[in-house]
Structure 1
Amino acid sequence: MRKILHMDLDAFFASVEQLDNPELRGKPVIVGGRENRGVVSTCSYEARAFGIHSAMPGAVARRKCPHGIFVPVRYERYKEKSAEVREIYTNYSDQYETLGLDEAYLDVSHFADAVPIAKELKQRVKQETGLTCSIGLSYNKSLAKIASDLRKPDALVIIRPEEALSILENLPIGALHGIGKKSKEKLAQKEIYTVKDFWNLSRDEVIQMFGKFGYDLYDRARGEDKREIVMDRTVRSISRETTFPIDIYDRNDVASLAKELLEEGIQAVEKKNLKPRTLSLKIRYTDFTTHSKQRTAYDEVDWFVLLDDLIDSFDYTSGIRLISVRFSNFMEETDGSHYQQLSLSWEDENR
């Protein structure tokens, strides 16, 4: 039988801030959202008690928690702490899947008893990094993640095969990975609020509602998940974006900020030894409509020149609230080199 461990660092960004600044411990710390247009990256459990959550507009977070302590995002510092944790958990398995900076799956099937391993891993993360994590242990990825979410923070939850259905049936439908806000609303129309309610749907009905994903969702609701640990997640794109505190109407102001983002993006791709072919610029207007344009090159290129061309292709008279610069279409070392200039055209971001 497989033994899959899911580790999730508790309120990671906020926990790092409280670790580095002991005066913040036990207080409602909110990472990000400092500017009027900013959004919350994450927050401490003390802040979550006031209804604060990730992706919430900073202005809303301030209304809900006026005494909350807002701190800037320090991404480089979080990467440092994430690397410390990774150094620990990779000692326990050579089959691991890293998700972002704060989550990982490990296949620990090679241990006769994985429970002591999970306990030791939790203890080492706490002692060696100062951070707490929640760990779920089960026989597949879906249940391991559900287990790690059940009793946060600083939890260790085991779901054994004989317990799976009795645990699943009492969970809200949103506990299934892949069921978001819109899916919950769709299911609520059929009076489906729990996993047990979901069992009343046939496989065909689930597939009709969710398309191909319905096959997986139907199985996961019944404790079945055949997904393997994915060791190498191919980088498909690297992007940097910013939301302005006030709307911008001037092309030169946009250009100045876009070039700063481009510099950050260039540093990121060079650090990963990647060679992008395509540069994209995304613009979000005051009314929240979003468009992007791109250029592709197959030879040595000055990305700042291409960025200027992209900047010139947009109209700014209606006001801009967000811009994003993205590299994609990474080149293999064996690829030949030539240059191709593409015509610029509007491209709906959501297509």
Structure 2
Amino acid sequence: MKIVHSYKAFQSAQRASAVTIGTFDGLHLGHQKILNQLSAYSKQQHLDSVVFTMFPHPRLVLQKDETLKLLNTIDERVALLEACGIDYLVIEPFSKEFSRLTALEFVRDVLVNSLQTKLLVVGYDHRFGRNREGDFNQLQDYSQLYHFKLEQIAKQDLLNIGISSTKIRQALTEGDMETANAYLGYPYLLSGTVVKGQGLGKTLHFPTVNLSIPETYKLIPKTGVYIVKTSVKNKTIYGVMNIGYRPTVQGTHQTIETFLLDFKGDLYGENLKIYLLKRLRDEKKFDALNLLIAQIKSDEINARKYIDSIAKI
């Protein structure tokens, strides 16, 4: 997959493209359906498959909405899109100037003149252009005016519930990993750098890796204890993660600590991708460290039972 920063820099070897547009936050099952169709159409019609996305998220630029939390960092989104087999990813640096493009200007200048769109694939609720003024009806008119084909993908449902990034964010905020992961189609991901902690886990004989996530817009799920997995030197390692404030030892800020099962080694400075499989329980405050240790041992037992159960599937 080739990455292009801004539509103005796009140059396709074939000069004809099958394109889809969106923020694709989370790259959930609905997004995956669009991308699968895009890939299939592009191969059938001998076109380059192009995903046009924007960063930062429009709400972070236009509304300065610091409360907005996203399911993916930009690096995570790029990796997920690359795994879909897309030919080109165009990342537009979203700005107020770009937001002023009318629906017509966006289609003419971005899709037609720059991306050389011959086929456009959009979701059932896609809107575009200044103040989101453009809709599917307008796209139908523009497709005739500029001679490109248009495909609309129907809403993706799970148990008759429409899948959306908003619903996944809500599920994660509530600690509902089962729903979040079902809608995503893969386990929710936290990626960051392993940094030094206070060493409490090692003192308790449960050494942990402490994950630092610099992107403040990344959504961190509800505080609590989770069963997770990661990969170290191409080997899958399972673990127990605590997201929280460590109330038993008077913690003052949120930490993300993971006790990796059956692993010994120094990971300081390493970049890790940790996938959250299941939420075990809420974070608790214990009256004594020995009670905390007993709970951690219980968490480990429950985690191993769960890991054994999924290994047999």
TM-score (norm: length of structure 2) = 0.33
Q: Going by fraction, where is strand more abundant, 1 or 2?
A: 2
Q: Relative contact order, CA 8 A, sep 6+: which one is greater?
A: 2
* TM-score, length of structure 1 as denominator length: 0.30
